[in-house]
Each structure stands twice: as C-alpha cells, then as structure tokens.
C-alpha cells in the first residue's frame, strides 16, 4: 500500500504529550469549533489567532516535524492547486502581472493565500486529532458526544460500535487482500499491464473473493458477539472511562473565545 504511506490523516503516533492526554471529547469539540469558525472572518487578527492556536497545538503534541512534512506532501499539492485556481480566477484589485494571456490581480493573490492558509490550518488541526488520539478513544469520544442525539432516535451506540469494528478489521482485510492478490497472481492474473479499463476489470477477481470472505467473517463475528452476550447498548457498562480535566475545559474555552472573536470581526 505504497500510496497510503504519504497520507498521515488517520494514523496514530504515540507520544507522551499534553495533547495526547486530552479528553477525546474535548479534542473533537475543539476541532468542530475550529472548522466552523475558521471560515467566518478573514480579518488578519483572526487569522493570526488561528495560526497561533494551531502552532501551539502542534508544538504541544510533540509530533516530529519531519514525519508531519512527509505526510503533508500529498495535501500540499492539493493546497497549491487551490491557490492557483484562486490566483487565476479572481478578477479584482489591481493588476500585478500581465504576461501574454496570463493576468494576475492583487485580489487573486490575496484570496488565494487566504484560502491556502486556512486549508493548511484546517488540515493540520484535523490530522492532529487523529495523530494524537487512538481510534478507540476517538470512537468513545464520538459516542459520548452523540449521546444527546439518542432523543431523536439516532442509534449512537450502534454507530460507535460499527466504527470500532470497522477499524478493528481494516488491517485484517488489508492482509486478506494481499493474500488474494498473490493467489490470483499465482493463477496468472496480471494487475499492472493493459489499458486503464483492463486494469480496472482485473480488480474484479480480487473484489469478489474479498466480499465473499467479508460476509463470512461478518456472520462469524455476529455469532461470536451473540455468544458473548451482546444485546445492544442497554445496560452495558464501559471498560474505558473518559476523564474530563481542567486542561480540557481550558482548551474548549480558548476555542470558544476564538469563535467569538471571528464573529465580532465579521459583524461589528
């Protein structure tokens, strides 16, 4: 899976840091506030505040910079293209560059930089969440945060369980896929030659056995869960307790201040 090596969103990096120790609920809340309000105002003060917040969070998390840069390569291309798009498409302000068919306006330059910066901050914050939180804590946090939705009959416990089972089976299924690929190659299948269409078609002999096996697994797992007394979320206790500490209230408080600031600069 070479192509996933350069995407770090969704991977967990164990470190002993303040951010790692934060309650997953607080981290989720903070990220939610950040995403919603980052795009509310484009006042320089707000952006500066956002940069400071993200930078501090990153430094506190003790994630190695090199690891992060390596993982951001793919995202950087995406951000760069967004920048270019805004650069060329915006026709406001004064002309900065005029060269044959190409004209760049100052408005485009500013707009492009704003978008690029915000996207970068957003992705940095989002990846920090998964880099510093184990998947199991993340699902726990989500389950707890979604609890109020139970009133409108959202099956929060089931959703969380589904997520955690999915996470648990990703490595198992990846292993299985590579086994099937090898088995089909041993039978003469070729996955790297021919047109795009032929290559796509050659995936069918991988996908079908994978699906069949997954259904078998699902059935086995369902029986095993039943045998272990699983009967839905009612009357269940939890092995993991989340503990909300001062640190978490502080972080959430800080981001609420940020949110208010964006609103103030936007509407006042």
* Region from 29-37, 74-82, 124-132, 237-245 binding another protein, contact rule CB under 8 A: 237-245
107 is an interface residue for another protein by CB under 8 A:
no
**What's the alpha-carbon Rg for the chain, to the nearest Å?**
24
Q: Report the run of H or E that residue 89 belongs to, with start and end.
A: helix 65-89
Length of the chain: 268
Total number of residues that touch another protein (CB under 8 A):
29
236 is an interface residue for another protein by CB under 8 A:
yes
d(CA 268, CA 265): 6
Q: Let me know: does 113 contact 83? Beta carbons within 8 Å.
A: yes
Residue-wise burial string across 100-109, b where 16 or more C-beta atoms lie within 10 A, e elsewhere:
eeeebbebbb
d(CA 95, CA 87): 12
Q: Please, which of residues 18-37 interact with another protein by CB under 8 A?
A: none
Residue 188 or 235: the one with the smaller Cβ distance to another protein is 235
Question: How far apart are CB 131 and another protein at their closest, in Å?
Answer: 17
By CB under 8 A, name the one of 225, 250, 257, 260 that touches another protein.
Answer: 225
Q: Please, which of residues 168-207 interact with another protein by CB under 8 A?
A: 168, 171-172, 175
Q: Let me know: does 6 contact 74? Beta carbons within 8 Å.
A: yes
* Region from 44-52, 82-90, 103-111, 167-175 binding another protein, contact rule CB under 8 A: 167-175
Question: How far apart are CB 177 and another protein at their closest, in Å?
Answer: 13
Residue 102 or 241: the one with the smaller Cβ distance to another protein is 241
- Give the angle subtended at the CA of 2 by the CAs of 208 and 171, to the nearest 5°: 55
Find where tokens 């089972």 sit: 165
- Give the angle subtended at the CA of 59 by the CAs of 53 and 65, to the nearest 5°: 120
Closest CA to 233 of 162, 141, 145, 135: 162
**Site string (62-91) toward another protein, x via CB under 8 A:** ------------------------------
Question: How far apart are CB 58 and another protein at their closest, in Å?
Answer: 25
* Region from 35-43, 79-87, 187-195, 219-227 binding another protein, contact rule CB under 8 A: 219-227
d(CA 251, CA 23): 10
1 is an interface residue for another protein by CB under 8 A:
no
Question: How far apart are CB 7 and another protein at their closest, in Å?
Answer: 19
Sign of CA dihedral 27, 142, 132, 127: negative
d(CA 232, CA 266): 46
Residue 188 or 231: the one with the smaller Cβ distance to another protein is 231
By CB under 8 A, name the one of 186, 196, 241, 268 that touches another protein.
Answer: 241
By CB under 8 A, name the one of 16, 66, 229, 268 that touches another protein.
Answer: 229
Q: Which residues bind another protein (CB under 8 A)?
A: 135-136, 164-165, 167-168, 171-172, 175, 216-217, 220-221, 223-231, 235-241
């Amino acid at each position: 899976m070479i192509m996933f090596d350069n995407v770090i969103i969704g991977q967990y990096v164990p470190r002993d840091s303040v951010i790692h120790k934060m309650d997953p609920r607080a981290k989720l809340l903070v990220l939610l506030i950040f995403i919603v309000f980052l795009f509310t105002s484009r006042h320089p003060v707000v952006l500066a505040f956002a940069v400071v917040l993200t930078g501090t969070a990153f430094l506190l998390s003790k994630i190695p910079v090199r690891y992060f840069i390596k993982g951001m390569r793919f995202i950087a291309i995406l951000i760069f293209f967004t920048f270019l798009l805004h650069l060329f498409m915006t026709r406001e302000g004064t002309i900065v560059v005029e060269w044959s068919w190409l004209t760049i306006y100052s408005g485009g330059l500013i707009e492009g930089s704003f978008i690029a910066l915000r996207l970068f901050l957003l992705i940095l914050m989002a990846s920090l969440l998964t880099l510093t939180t184990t998947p199991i804590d993340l699902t726990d946090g989500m389950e707890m945060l979604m609890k109020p939705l139970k009133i409108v009959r959202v099956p929060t416990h089931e959703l969380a369980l589904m997520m955690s089972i999915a996470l648990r089976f990703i490595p198992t299924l990846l292993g299985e896929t590579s086994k099937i690929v090898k088995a089909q190659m041993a039978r003469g299948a070729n996955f790297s030659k021919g047109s795009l269409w032929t290559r796509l078609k050659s995936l069918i002999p991988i996908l079908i056995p994978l699906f069949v096996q997954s259904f078998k697994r699902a059935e086995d797992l369902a029986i095993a869960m039943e045998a272990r007394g699983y009967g839905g979320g009612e009357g269940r206790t939890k092995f993991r307790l989340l503990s909300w500490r001062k640190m978490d209230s502080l972080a959430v408080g800080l981001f609420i201040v940020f949110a208010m600031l964006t609103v103030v600069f936007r509407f006042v």
